[in-house]
Amino acid sequence: MAAVRRWALALARGAVPVGLGLLLWAVMGAGEQQRQEAVKALPEVSAELLAQRRRHNELIMAALREAAETDENVARRPVPWRK
């Protein structure tokens, strides 16, 4: 009987953090969805601004890709540099 009690106690001690983590994950997931909807509803978010951000991210990714593919220290290039 003592072994069953120890097993049940160990199971409860392991289940509490998992249950708490799942609860927090569900709460954060709902909050993130509401935040994304609020961001989409902002008046300053326009198609033009999103296109500019997308282009900026593409340029950064191209620079990172080039830096990863070469042994040259691209940070030491004279500014402004272009391909």
Q: Does the predicted TM-score (pTM) go above 0.85? A: no
- Number of domains forming the structure of the chain: 1
Q: Is residue 81 assigned to a domain?
A: no
What per-residue confidence (pLDDT) applies to 6? Answer: 92
In the predicted structure, residue 64 carries a pLDDT above the cut 80? yes
**Dist. CA 52–CA 33, nearest whole Å:** 24
Q: Is residue 76 part of a domain?
A: no
| pLDDT single digits (tens) 14-60 | 999 999 999 988 888 777 778 888 877 777 767 788 889 899 999 99
User: Which residues span the domain enclosing 46?
Assistant: 1-69
C-beta separation of 74 from 66 below 8 A: yes
| Residue 63, number of CB atoms within 10 A of its CB | 14
Distances (CA, A) of 31 to 7, 40, 42, 47, 66: 36, 14, 17, 25, 37
Cα dist from 21 to 28, 50, 51, 61, whole Å: 10, 34, 37, 34
